[in-house]
A and B are shown apart, each in its own frame.
Chain A
Amino acid sequence: MSQLVGIYAIAALSIREAVRQRLWLPFAAGAGLLMAIGLRLGAVDDSAKLKLAVVGITAVIGFVTVLLSILVAAGQVRRDLDARVAYLLFAKPLSRWAYVVGRWLGVMGILTAGMLALAVVGTLVMSTVFPALPQMRDVHKVVAWEEVSPLGEPITITDDSSRRMLSGQPGGGIRWTIAGLPTEGPQDGLELLVRVQVRGVGDQMALEESLVSVTAAPGKGGQRLLSLDPASPYGFGTDGAKPGPGQVVLRHRDSSRNDMVQDFARLRLTPDVIAPDGTTIIQITRLDSRSTLVLTRNATVLVARPGGGFLLNLVRGGLVLMASAGLLAAGTLLVATVSNIGVTLLAGLTMFFAGNALWTIQDTLAYEKLSAPVARLLQLAQVLLPDFDRFSVAANLAASQSIPWTAVGAAWMYFGLYAVVFLVLAWFSLARKEL
């Protein structure tokens, strides 16, 4: 109990120290940058506006939190040791572990306040640029998929490929199984979002849309035609001609066009096609012989339901970013207990850049001929380095996809484990330190 008081005292001191040393200035600069982004958005194409705004906001929040987590952790701990205030602190009934935890919590407190402030400014900027803020969507993931021949026979997909091309004789299609759906959803059904890549065949190379049927069923048989949502951004054909019942004209959308509001055809998945266990099987059948369809396992059909407002999801995204900042703060704090301020700052930044460049290690291991020791070293780095790209906050928000609490929990579990290890090492280092 007494150490909790010490932790609180040190955490509160950290926050006061940051305020007095005007470390809120980066947040203010970040807020200014967000406003500047808001002003300049008028010059951008409408379809890219939302994405750009969201990426700008998350980038500013991410940059400022990362920068400050390193600066604050390094500065405060190093100053205590260099200015010998630590003499006085540890002569009091304050355990060294309580000091480490208190400093870390102080950094996190500063970051939380700053992140919330930036999220509010970001939302205000969004609400001035857009007449209505986007409603975010929760997405249910596909658990299985299979191909269906033009004769209606199922073909199991055995390879690891996550893409399938449908061409040749029409009538063939793909079936996706999606689980975990609410059986008592809204009466007008859940949203079914569909997006494919369309390629023309032969002299129809310029073709950018293709006619398909979209059906669903609670089990293997009895597929029922799904109807288009009247608010769907497309699905009716470019000439405005209405397709037949259950038919949808899919427009070409590659993987970079992933905004759930404007890049997906929207259909309604009614409760009668969902099994009591929350499973449904959705099938897209190709009806147009002039085109080839490219379909993917995880990104062609999405079942979505309301995932909360923009501000709430931005805050949850901020919490995910803060989990990685917490790791950086803990790592920086560890280095601060053993080295000088220059090395500490360098170590924090190196950790961040290394964690962001993990894909280069993966590529190097996959495509380069390496000697055994180098390969082992890179494999070890791949295992040990935290992956800062693991949770794609910006991409999800830009696609109007919600950041669920489970993602926040997963991020804190992943980065938190690293942070705990670093904090324990920092305590160990400080406990052995002779002042």
Chain B
Amino acid sequence: MTVPTPAATPVLRTVGLGKTYHDFWGRPRVQALAGLDLEVAPGEVFGLLGPNGSGKTTTIKLLLGLLSPTKGEAFVFGRDPGDQDAKRRIGYLPEETYLYRFLDAEETLAFFGRLFGLPSALIKSRTDELIKLVGLDHARKRRLGEYSKGMARRLGLAQTLINDPALVILDEPTSGLDPIGSAEVKDLIIRLKQAGKTVLLCSHLLADVEDVCDRIAILHQGVLRELGPVDALLRADDRIQVELKGPNAEQLAAIRNAAGSSLVSVAPPRERLESHFRRIITEAKGGGSKP
């Protein structure tokens, strides 16, 4: 995986960005973010990690101009976060699906398309394309009030892409989705990257982030704790993993002897639960013989 360098003109940039929430009397109540310095390059999939209350969503809201920083600055496409032209190039999926329950899928996408000033014909074609992409073709005329949480999440994802954004901000995109849906979202993120889009992924599901992100930042209590490429951060330089295809007992014995006391473990690799689950469901959908 090629990791774009942040040296290119950044899509997102924060300089000492901080946010402190105040109470009614203006007294500081909680510091949500303390001096965040960050750059995200074009075409990069950037993960923002952290436990609940670490400042991830606050960072996103600051980048979208929904909150005003109490210190520092943020730039989106080199502009102020409130800039309407910058917003025109952003797709945003909030942490929870905030959509109108009285609209159906088509009307929802058409409404958001109109907010971007897209022509009617383009809205129609994008709507058809996105509804199919998120697997809601069978429910396109149903009102959202009748949707399950996962279906609403899928539609939320579709509205994120209605304007074919250059920057996609996803806040916990797999929240409420089943494992298949989560895997599809991850596939989608990879496809977005292949299409040259920049993705800011905010999640506390580490496996999701690890699978798709080029670089990550880890926040804790509003402070940036770590920043860098995923591969570099997770590589354990003091260990080597050797995988053999169909080894026999002699080969394993030879390895044990050669490694001596530095050997940590010799065991068959485990399939990841997610890929196992996907395989079972795919087989079941294909009319497999397993019960």
A16: Cβ under 8 A from any B Cβ? yes
* A434 / chain B contacts, CB cutoff of 8 Å: 66-68
The answer to whether B115 and A6 touch across the interface, beta carbons within 8 angstroms, is yes
* B residues in contact (CB < 8 Å) with A: 61, 64-68, 84-85, 87-88, 90, 92, 94, 96, 98-100, 102-103, 107, 111-112, 114-117, 143, 159
| Known contacts A2-B117, A6-B115, A13-B111, A91 near B66 by CB under 8 Å | yes
* B112 / chain A contacts, CB cutoff of 8 Å: 88, 92
Q: How many A-B residue pairs have CB under 8 A?
A: 73
The answer to whether A91 and B100 touch across the interface, beta carbons within 8 angstroms, is no
The answer to whether B96 and A84 touch across the interface, beta carbons within 8 angstroms, is yes
* A5 / chain B contacts, CB cutoff of 8 Å: 114-115, 117
- Give the residues from 44 to 94 in chain A that come closer than 8 angstroms, CB to CB, to chain B: 83-85, 87-94
Question: Closest 7 interchain pairs by CB?
Answer: A20-B102, A9-B114, A91-B92, A93-B84, A93-B87, A435-B66, A92-B115
| Known contacts A88-B99, A434-B67, A93 near B117 by CB under 8 Å | yes
- Between A and B, 6 residue pairs with Cβ closer than 8 Å are A9-B111, A20-B143, A84-B94, A85-B99, A90-B66, A92-B115
* A6 / chain B contacts, CB cutoff of 8 Å: 114-115, 117
* B85 / chain A contacts, CB cutoff of 8 Å: 93
Determine the distance from Cα of A89 to Cα of B102 in the docked complex, in whole angstroms.
Answer: 16
A391: Cβ under 8 A from any B Cβ? no
A21: Cβ under 8 A from any B Cβ? yes
Q: Shortest distance in angstroms between B86's beta carbon and chain A's nearest beta carbon?
A: 9
- A 1-32 to B, binary, CB cutoff 8 A, 1 in contact else 0: 01101101100110011001100000000000
- A 98-138 to B, binary, CB cutoff 8 A, 1 in contact else 0: 00000000000000000000000000000000000000000
Contacts A13-B100, A85-B99, A85-B100 supplied; 9 other A-B pairs, CB < 8 Å? A5-B114, A12-B114, A84-B94, A85-B98, A88-B112, A92-B116, A93-B84, A93-B115, A434-B68
Determine the distance from Cα of A90 to Cα of B94 in the docked complex, in whole angstroms.
Answer: 12
Q: Shortest distance in angstroms between B91's beta carbon and chain A's nearest beta carbon?
A: 9
* A residues in contact (CB < 8 Å) with B: 2-3, 5-6, 8-9, 12-13, 16-17, 20-21, 83-85, 87-95, 434-435
* A16 / chain B contacts, CB cutoff of 8 Å: 102-103, 107
Q: Which of B84, B94, B117 contacts A87 (CB 8 A)?
A: B94
Determine the distance from Cα of A296 to Cα of B136 in the docked complex, in whole angstroms.
Answer: 74
Determine the distance from Cα of A20 to Cα of B68 in the docked complex, in whole angstroms.
Answer: 35
Determine the distance from Cα of A13 to Cα of B99 in the docked complex, in whole angstroms.
Answer: 12
Q: Shortest distance in angstroms between B209's beta carbon and chain A's nearest beta carbon?
A: 22
* B66 / chain A contacts, CB cutoff of 8 Å: 87, 90-91, 434-435
Q: Shortest distance in angstroms between B210's beta carbon and chain A's nearest beta carbon?
A: 27
Determine the distance from Cα of A91 to Cα of B143 in the docked complex, in whole angstroms.
Answer: 23
With most chain A CB atoms within 10 A of its CB, the pick from B87, B112, B117 is B117
Determine the distance from Cα of A16 to Cα of B68 in the docked complex, in whole angstroms.
Answer: 33
Determine the distance from Cα of A92 to Cα of B117 in the docked complex, in whole angstroms.
Answer: 11
Determine the distance from Cα of A3 to Cα of B116 in the docked complex, in whole angstroms.
Answer: 9
Determine the distance from Cα of A5 to Cα of B123 in the docked complex, in whole angstroms.
Answer: 14
The answer to whether A9 and B115 touch across the interface, beta carbons within 8 angstroms, is yes
* A92 / chain B contacts, CB cutoff of 8 Å: 87, 92, 112, 115-116
The answer to whether B61 and A435 touch across the interface, beta carbons within 8 angstroms, is yes
* A8 / chain B contacts, CB cutoff of 8 Å: 114
